[in-house]
Structure formats: structure tokens, C-alpha cells
Amino acid sequence: MDYLAEANLDMSHLPVLLVVGLAIFFGTIGAKIFQRLRIPQVVGYICIGLIVGRSGFQLINAAALKNLEPFNFFALGVIGFLIGGELHRDVFRKYGMQFFKILLAEGMGAFVVVAIGTGLVVWWAHGDVATAVAIGLLFGAISSATAPAATVDVLWEYKALGVLTTMVFAIVALDDGLALALYGVASSVAENVTGKGTGNVWLAMGKIAKELLGAVCLGVLAGFILNYLLRRLRQADKGLGLIIGWMALVIGCARAFDLDMIVASMALGATLTNLAPRRSHPAFSVVESFATPIYVLFFVSVGARLSVGSLPGWMWGLVVVYAIARTVGKMTGAYLGARWAHAAPTVRKYFGLCLFSQAGVSVGLAVLAASRFNGEIGGTMIDGVRSGGIRIGDIIIMTITTSTFVMQLLGPPCVKFAIRKAGEIGLNVTEADLIKERAVAAVVDKKSPSFNEGTPMAEILRVIAEIDATVYPVVDDERRLVGVITLNGLKQSFRAEGMSQWLVAFDLMEPVPDTITEHAPLAEAMDRMNEQSLEYLPVVDGEESLGLVGVIEARKVRRQLSQEILRRHRVAEETDSPALQAFTEQG
């Protein structure tokens, strides 16, 4: 502490690593607390950001946020890359036209409703039609973007899989492109309407096209090269460094050439997964395993950046209208788009709910608009000069920042609600996920035969011949576990002729190597079996009482989990079927 005092430390000069540590550590704790409350973890990250950021204690202030920018670019790149990894050729083939129609409808829906709503508020507050049209158009364009990161994080957290999830993955990433295009047109028109611009729509569109097409070209080219490099790579453990380094290069190039970095990394991921679906799988797993702290940092920064300052009364009205209009526009557009595209019923009903999150691109466009539109509205005109009003740029930034705060907190729970109603939660699971979420009670075989210690060997052989098990518990008269008979151990008793007539289970049993209770986590049981090279564990009602409940056999558990994974994947494939729709409605 003395050192800090002597160094006259102010918060803007916190070392970057200290800020990173603070953000990741407290962000993770916040997420855990919110997860306990069954609220998506991303909301926890953002709330911690709010507490430590500009709206709270200002531990992470503007200067610190500036230092974190490269991490955030990288986080967006990682998110884009992983989204790209979900876009397989067959998904495009199956849903390509649906993507296009729904994207257009939800983006344009938000654009139109927000433009009209916010334009009317500005006109009502200030009576200036031209300014109202300009601000309305800018808000409309900004509102069409959806934050992919917060949305996709919920899909990953809840292991979602199905047609709704597929749509969300594709469209939340692509609608940033639509937002950029709409902003290009809207800002040019706004400049012309307010009579301040050199606004050339075609020039603006050309710039947007360069940003998007350039990003796609960069991503595709980088994907081909990365695929080649991965094919040549013999040491799997070098994969992480190569992929992370390559992604950072692609993101850096996109930044350097003013290209859309999310689209570039998405194109990289999509190219890789389509060129080598199997070989690229470990690459995506490697990035996923590495990504968590980057996400935490990113979302904490998002929260820290939000500034909910004091706004004039009518601007609160503008914020409310913006938020409502965006919600209505997105939901209506998504519904109409899904109908137009003949999408699955779950997409029609719930897709709109997945589009509320608003962050990076919207805030970025708001900053861009603020630097471009610096005239004032309100105040008084003295000698043809307006004074005491509010800058248009400030209106846009404050409205977007405040509504982003609301949308970022409401968006993720809405995504969770949508995927739950669509029946897609927990369908994209691995064996490790299932093991983590289950207790021993879920897999214990209670019908597996056990033998009393006095059971003759002849009877044991008769039962074993009919049952598929490799281990049989032996119990005393009070059904307490006293040993186990294994097939391997049983072979020893075939040595002498006639022994089967007088040997009993007590003679054939081996000591119990370990036991587990049925309330213990399955992960603990699997760990214990692995550590002791056991293929089974007897399950008892208590470590002391040793009352036999059943047996778990590792091979049977694995078979059961594989069947469950297959079942869930089949359910996910059928999520656009009317049958499942009826099922989820009943549920």
C-alpha cells in the first residue's frame, strides 16, 4: 500500500495486467453468482463491469478501457471464428435462403420502427422535421445490429442445438453487415437532409462494400492458408499457438485495412470448417478452451464502458421509445421474415426474442455518428447561432449507451427463454457435459443381480450365463455389501473339477475395491474408476452402512451417455418438425 501511495497511483494508470486480473477475477465471480440465480453468466460479467466501470467505482475508466481494446478486438475475433465454425456447407444449403429472408426482415423491421419512433420523439420535443428525420434514420440503422457475443454466449452456456440455435448463430453475426450497410445509406441521407453533408450515398455504399467484401476475402484466404498449415502440423500441441497467432494476424489485418473484423474471422472459421470438417474440429475445441477468460474480459469491458449519466427528461423518453421500437421492430421483422421464409414454427415464435442484445457495433456506429453530426438542437438562437442545446452526437451516444445497458441485461435472459421454449437447451452436449450434470443415481443399475454370500457356485454360473455384466456384488443376509464376484476372478474356480458343487459366493468373492453413494456426482465416480483402473463401482446407501443399491459399470455408463447424446442430436434435428413443436408447447 505504501508503494501505491508513494507512486501517487490514480486509476487511469493501473497497470493493464492489474485491470485484466480485476476484470477476469471479479467477472468470473459475478457470473457464478448469476448462474446460481439461473441468469445467464454474461449478465454477471456485464454487471461486474458496471460496478467497477464508469457507472460505478471507476476502477476501469476510459483510459483503462482504451488499454483493453486489443483484448476486446481479439475477443470479437474469437467469437466470429467460433460462429464461423458453426456454418457448415450443409447448413447454408438447407437454410441459406431462410437466413437471407429473416436477416433482411428483422434488420429492416428494427430500422423502420426505430426510425419512425425516435424521429417522432425528436420532432415532438423540438419541432425540427429535418433533424428528426436525420436522427431517426441514424437510430434506425444503429438499431438493426445485434450483439453476437452476448447472444452466442448464452447458446454455448446452455449447450443449445437445433434449428432456432442455427438461425441465431448465423443471423446475429450477419446482421452487423446489414447494420453497416444501412448506416452508410442513412448517414448520407441524414447529411443531405440536414444540409450539412457532402453525403454521397454511392460513395458510402462503396466503402461499406469494401469493408464487408474485403473482410470475406481476407477470411477465406486466411482459412485456406490455416487449413494448409494445420495439415502440415505434426505436433498437435503446437496447434494452439498456431491458431491463436493466425487469428490475431487476421484480426490485426482487418483492423489495419479498415475491414470488418467479425466478418473476417467468421469467414476464416467457416472456410476452415468447410475445407476440413474433421481435421478442423480440434482447432475449434482448442480455441473454445482458450476463450473463456477472453470473453470474461470482453463482457466486463462492455459493462465498464456503459455510462448511465443524468439525462434530460425528454431523452429518457427517447431511450424508452428507442428500446421499445427496436424490440417491436426486431420481433415483428423476425416473425414476418420467418413466415416469409417458411421457417420452422420455433423460429417464427421465438427468434425475435434472441435479437435484443446490443453492444459493440451499435456503440461503434453511435460514436461514428457523434463525430460526424456535431450540430445542436434545442437551446436558443442568438444571431443565427444556436447555444445551450444538446449536440446531436451526444443525443445519439447517450441514447445508445443507456439503451445498450438495458438491452445487454435483458437480452441474454430472453435468449435463454427462447431456446428453452424451443426445447433446444442441453441438446449440444458431450459425454463430459452429461457426466458433469448427473449424479450416480441417474446411471446406477439397480436391477443388476447380486448374490447372497451363501449362494452356490452352480446357481451363480446359471445367472451369469444369462446376464450381461462383468461384476456381481455379494451381500450378507442384511443386504450389506461384503464383496464382489468378477468374471475374471470366477475363471480361477474352474481349475479343479467338482469345486463348483461346494464353493459358494463367499469363496468366490473378492474384496470391494471402492464404493460410492448414489447421491455422489457421476464425475466423482468416473474419476475414482479412472484413478484405480476399475471398470465398475458398487453403489451403496452409505459409506458406513454399506447397504447395496446397485452397480455402475464404466462401459455401460459410456454406452448410456452415448445413446443420450445421439437422442439429443436427433431431437435437435427434429426441432423444426411439427411433432416437436407440439411437444414443446405441451411442456
Partner 1 sequence: MSLTDYLTADRVVILSGRTKQEVLDELIALSCKCFPRLVREVLAEAITHRESLMSTGIGQGLAVPHARLDGVTEPMVVVGVAKDGVEGYESLDGGPIHVLLLIVAGKGQHEPYLRLLATALEVLKDPAVREAIINCPSAQEAYRTLTGV
Q: Is 498 in the site for partner 1 (CB under 8 A)?
A: yes
Q: Is 307 in the site for partner 1 (CB under 8 A)?
A: no
489/218 Cα distance (integer angstroms)? 63
C-alpha cell at 296: 470474461
Q: Is 533 in the site for partner 1 (CB under 8 A)?
A: no
Nearer to partner 1, 389 or 513 (CB): 513
Q: Is 317 in the site for partner 1 (CB under 8 A)?
A: no
Q: Is 495 in the site for partner 1 (CB under 8 A)?
A: yes
Q: Which residues contact 364 (CB under 8 A, 6 or more apart)?
A: none
Nearer to partner 1, 208 or 484 (CB): 484
Q: Is 504 in the site for partner 1 (CB under 8 A)?
A: yes
Shortest spacing between CB 515 and partner 1, in angstroms: 15
Q: Is 506 in the site for partner 1 (CB under 8 A)?
A: yes
Order the strands of the 548-553 sheet from edge to edge.
516-517, 536-540, 548-553
Considering only CA atoms, which of 231, 236, 229 is closest in space to residue 285? Answer: 236
- Binding segment (CB under 8 A) for partner 1, from list 46-54, 372-380, 507-515, 533-541: 507-515
Q: Is 7 in the site for partner 1 (CB under 8 A)?
A: no
Q: Is 501 in the site for partner 1 (CB under 8 A)?
A: yes
Single-letter residue type at 155:
L
Nearer to partner 1, 384 or 498 (CB): 498
Q: How many CB atoms lie within 10 A of CB 533?
A: 7
Nearer to partner 1, 489 or 521 (CB): 489
Shortest spacing between CB 462 and partner 1, in angstroms: 17
Q: How many CB atoms lie within 10 A of CB 550?
A: 18
Q: Quick one: 241 exposed, middle or buried, by C-beta within 10 A (0-12, 13-18, 19+)?
A: exposed
What pairs with residue 391 in β-bridges?
376
Nearer to partner 1, 11 or 464 (CB): 464
Q: Is 507 in the site for partner 1 (CB under 8 A)?
A: yes
516/432 Cα distance (integer angstroms)? 19
Shortest spacing between CB 536 and partner 1, in angstroms: 16
33/29 Cα distance (integer angstroms)? 6
301/330 Cα distance (integer angstroms)? 26
273/169 Cα distance (integer angstroms)? 15
Q: Is 586 in the site for partner 1 (CB under 8 A)?
A: no
Q: Is 489 in the site for partner 1 (CB under 8 A)?
A: yes
Q: Is 57 in the site for partner 1 (CB under 8 A)?
A: no
Contact 486, 510 (CB under 8 A): yes
For partner 1, the binding residues in 508-527 under the rule CB under 8 A are: 510-511
283/106 Cα distance (integer angstroms)? 33
Tell the residue number behind the cell numbers 463525430, with chain if given.
371
Q: Is 587 in the site for partner 1 (CB under 8 A)?
A: no
Q: Is 376 in the site for partner 1 (CB under 8 A)?
A: no
- Binding segment (CB under 8 A) for partner 1, from list 54-62, 97-105, 282-290, 504-512: 504-512
Q: Is 493 in the site for partner 1 (CB under 8 A)?
A: yes
The SS3 of residue 342 is coil
Residues that bind partner 1 (CB under 8 A): 453-454, 456, 489, 492-493, 495-496, 498-499, 501-502, 504, 506-507, 510-511
